Amino acid sequence: KTQETVSSSSGMASQKIKVSEDMAPGSISQDESDIPTLAFPSISTADFQFDLEKASDVIVGKVEEFMDKLGNARLVLVDLTERSKILSLVRAKAAEKKIDSKRFFTFIGDICQLYTKGGLCCNVIANAANWRLKPGGGGVNAAIFNAAGPALEAATKEQARSLLPGNALVVPLPSTSPLYSKEGVTHVIHVLGPNMNPRRPNCLDNDYVKGCKVLGDAYSSLFKGFLSIAN
Ligand code: AR6
């Protein structure tokens, strides 16, 4: 196994784990797969058009708040490319605050293929959902519902039919879902963040006082939901 940890100039680690060809699936360090790990995308900052500077302050503030409640669990902020501005901002701010980079780090990759493509074991993943908790749309919501198959939609419906901004919903993933069997994901947590896009429902019209409050609430609900299944 080769493990490559790239440290940014600011010191906060961005982890990239390479899986070598001779490694059988499932053999990625037994110990690592035992560590409760939540992978989450940056809520509201793409389709919902939330300001990246402000979002990065909220993310780092909330991570800091939850750090001492985590135990041995880990939080991982994920985005698709190494050019991700939100990842750079968060890495720099987390390093400034000296947040433990073993328990919170950033990772580049598709949140639906973190284990098979990235070698990172995450038993829980978060989804930037829509208020109807429906598949489709775009971004990470479409990707997660596609990768999970119909099992996720059915399991979601059993829990709730809609979500208010600032809230999260923990959904146990049936073992028939490919996300479970291939990626080791046991739960998806849907999160509805604040919306600043006038073409989407409940637009906050640039009200960032309310927006930051709702985004903070969304991360609190997400991390609480994760801790309720991690420990
Ligand atoms: N893996 C990791 N990160 C991703 C992936 C992926 N497969 N796809 C996108 N991201 P967005 P929002 C990152 O737009 O702003 C949907 O249509 C992306 O680069 O998915 O909360 C829903 O139905 C960005 O950093 O979520 C809602 O209506 C982050 O995920 C609406 O979009 C969030 O981008 C929610 O918008």
Of all protein residues, the one whose alpha carbon is nearest to atom 7 of ligand 1 is 110
Q: Kindly give the pairing relationship between strand 168-172 and strand 37-41.
A: unpaired
Of all protein residues, the one whose alpha carbon is nearest to atom 20 of ligand 1 is 139
CB distance 94 to ligand 1 below 6 Å: no
CB distance 111 to ligand 1 below 6 Å: yes
Decide if pLDDT at 147 tops 50. yes
Number of compact structural domains in the chain: 1
Lowest-confidence region among 2-11, 23-32, 129-138, 204-213? 2-11
Give distance in angstroms: CA of 188 to centre of ligand 1. 14
CB distance 66 to ligand 1 below 6 Å: no
Mutation choice for ligand 1 from 47, 134, 191, CB with most ligand atoms inside 8 A: 47
Give distance in angstroms: CA of 181 to centre of ligand 1. 23
Decide if pLDDT at 20 tops 80. no
Q: Mind listing the pLDDT tens digit for each residue in 126-137?
A: 999 999 999 988
Q: What is the mean pLDDT of residues 100-129?
A: 97
Q: What percent of the chain has pLDDT over 90?
A: 84
Secondary structure (3-state) at 94: helix
**Residue 73 in contact with residue 121, Cβ under 8 Å?**
no
> 208 CB contacts (<8 Å, ≥6 apart)?
51, 54
> Which of 56, 66, 43 shows the shortest CA–CA distance to 90?
56
Give distance in angstroms: CA of 113 to centre of ligand 1. 15
User: What is residue 34's predicted lDDT score, i.e. its pLDDT?
Assistant: 87
Lowest-confidence region among 3-7, 48-52, 97-101, 217-221? 3-7
* 152/188 Cα distance (integer angstroms): 8
User: What is residue 17's predicted lDDT score, i.e. its pLDDT?
Assistant: 46
What is the residue-averaged pLDDT of the chain?
90
Domain span holding position 74: 2-230
> Which of 186, 208, 58 shows the shortest CA–CA distance to 121?
186
Q: What percent of the chain has pLDDT over 70?
A: 86
CB distance 44 to ligand 1 below 6 Å: yes
Of all protein residues, the one whose alpha carbon is nearest to atom 8 of ligand 1 is 140
Strand residue runs (E) in 65-214: 74-79, 104-108, 124-128, 168-172, 187-191
User: What is residue 67's predicted lDDT score, i.e. its pLDDT?
Assistant: 96
Of all protein residues, the one whose alpha carbon is nearest to atom 30 of ligand 1 is 41
User: What is residue 231's predicted lDDT score, i.e. its pLDDT?
Assistant: 66
- State the CATH number of the domain containing residue 219: 3.40.220
Q: What is the mean pLDDT of residues 211-219?
A: 98
User: What is residue 90's predicted lDDT score, i.e. its pLDDT?
Assistant: 98
